[in-house]
Amino acid sequence: MPSTVTSFYDLAQEVLTVARTCLATTSGGVPDLSYVSPATPAFDCCPALIVSGAALSEESTAPQATAIDSGRKASYGRVNLATMWVTALRCAPEMNADGSVSIVEVERAAYEVLQDGWALWCGFYHAILNNTFEGKCSDVHFDIGRAVTEQGGCVGWTFVFRSLLEGIPLPEVV
């Protein structure tokens, strides 16, 4: 099915819906602040759930293609790869006046953040198995999740979501 100019955004909204469903199972729940962003926002407001556009690229389709073959994609067809980041943020433990951090608060943050990571990892796995994204895209991948190092008072996870999207039918270029 050909895509339209809204296909990338529509897919990002679907990804956000799945992420919300995943976080609804955690003790921290779904953050009130959850949205689709055009690019990675500053991590300075938590808790938050953000799906952001990360990259658009094309994958090789030629049999046994090498890196030098990228100029021949017109001969073999083009595969559009849409990449997004799914970021779940929680509030980091605050420092005490003496610069120390309460271990109890560190454990509280770890309890929420590790639940978020595992819920997203497993939830997207099941969403992909259940063909949740079918009709919007194909060949969906929920890749590596990386912990977000404390910044702006936030900690959490960022996962890479990749999917193949059909191209937009446009008039022939003369």
Q: Give per-residue pLDDT as tens, 89-148.
A: 999 998 888 888 899 999 999 999 999 999 999 999 999 888 887 766 668 888 899 999
Each domain of the chain, given as residue ranges in start order, spans 7-60+77-163
Question: Helices 103-129 and 7-23 meet at what angle, rounded to 10?
Answer: 130
Residue 77: the pLDDT is 64
Residue 62: the pLDDT is 57
Q: Is 0.75 surpassed by the pTM of this model?
A: yes
Q: Are strands 138-151 and 154-165 parallel, antiparallel or unpaired?
A: antiparallel
**CA 100, CA 87: separation in Å to the nearest integer?**
27
Phi–psi pair at 40, nearest 5 degrees: -65, 120
Contact 93, 101 (CB under 8 A): yes
Provide the percentage of residues in the chain whose pLDDT is more than 90.
Answer: 53
Continuous H helices in the chain: 7-23, 73-76, 103-129
Give the number of other CB atoms < 10 A from CB of residue 162. 18
- Tokens 């404390």 — which residue? 150
Per CATH, the architecture of 7-60+77-163 is what? 2-Layer Sandwich (3.30)
* Mean pLDDT, residues 33-50 taken together: 93
What is the band of 84 on the pLDDT scale with cuts at 50, 70, 90?
very high
Contact 91, 108 (CB under 8 A): no
* Residue range 57-69, pLDDT digits in tens: 887 655 666 555 5
**CA 136, CA 18: separation in Å to the nearest integer?**
14
Residue 60: the pLDDT is 62
Cα–Cα nearest to 155, from 68, 67, 94: 94
Q: Facing residues of 52 across strands? A: 37, 85
Cα–Cα nearest to 57, from 150, 162, 129, 142: 162
